[in-house]
Amino acid sequence: MMHLIDLSELTAQRGRFDFFLEQVRSRFGFDHVAYLGANPVAGTMHGYVTYPEEWKRLYIQKAFHLIDPTLTIAQRSISPVDWSRLEQTENFRKVFNIAHDFGITSHGLTIPVRGPYGDTGMLSVTLDTSGHEWKGRIASAIGELQSIAVHMHDAVMNSDAFSNVLRHSLLSSREIEILQWTAAGKTQQDIADILGISHRTVEVHLRSAREKLYSLTTPQAIARAIALHLIYPI
């Protein structure tokens, strides 16, 4: 069951996105949460982070965004990237040897998001804890974090008026129905029994819905469908 923080309830564009990240940080107990998105339609880039101001200034000054593998590698991924995969790379050490001086841990996760017009986004979370504790925390939160990543990305991209006009969905009534049951916590077999169709048919409709909603996972598709008011949160 997903309970998304509703960005539409917040006001003042930059303020609402910053506040949203603070809500996510507080809710999950993370040290920091960051979002970076690029919109080729409007020719804009968007960044919102909870990192200290001193680190933000130094990061930009040293152009770390050009080499930081938590961005450069994660941007090319189709699944969440745990930073432990990146620790042995030279650029990771170059960035995080300095980041540690600002109290920023190298325990992190970046969740990539894709949009329908080439737009991309990445939501990153960090927590200074043991490896065992970190894995457990992420395992329990990954589904909701993927939904939050899509929710944040779509809200930021839709803040560009041109992109907002272009965005639409062509989901069939059956795809919407199956996404709604999935959002309610039903398994694919449950849905097949409820609708009187095969498990395979449910799977096909979910795959089609993910493709139409430009979502990498079913939780991301559900989050995007909720944001588009195609289905409702349960």
Residues near 51 by Cβ (< 8 Å), separated by ≥ 6? Answer: 32, 34, 59, 102, 104
Check residue 220 and give its pLDDT: 86
Winning range, highest mean pLDDT, from 9-18, 38-47, 66-75, 212-221 = 66-75
Check residue 216 and give its pLDDT: 82
Confidence of residue 213 (pLDDT cuts 50, 70, 90): confident
Is a pLDDT exceeding 80 seen at residue 72? Answer: yes
Residue range 84-110, pLDDT digits in tens? 999 999 999 999 999 999 999 999 999
Model pTM score: 0.69
Residue range 135-168, pLDDT digits in tens? 999 999 999 999 899 889 988 887 765 455 445 5
DSSP state of 32: E
Is a pLDDT exceeding 80 seen at residue 114? Answer: yes
Asked if 152 and 31 count as a contact pair (C-beta separation under 8 A), the reply is no
Is a pLDDT exceeding 50 seen at residue 219? Answer: yes
What the block records as the tokens of 115 is 């949009």
SS3 of 27, please? Answer: helix
- Averaged pLDDT for residues 192-204: 94
- Structural domains of the chain, ranges and CATH numbers in brackets: 7-164 (3.30.450.80), 169-227 (1.10.10.10)
Asked if 221 and 176 count as a contact pair (C-beta separation under 8 A), the reply is no
In angstroms, the CA 206 to CA 39 distance is 26
Check residue 14 and give its pLDDT: 62
Burial 139-176 (b: 16+ CB within 10 A, else e): eebebbbbbbbbbbbbbbbbbbeebeeebebebeebbb
Is a pLDDT exceeding 50 seen at residue 2? Answer: no
Task: Name the helix (H) or strand (E) containing 157.
Answer: helix 131-157
Confidence of residue 228 (pLDDT cuts 50, 70, 90): confident
Check residue 110 and give its pLDDT: 97
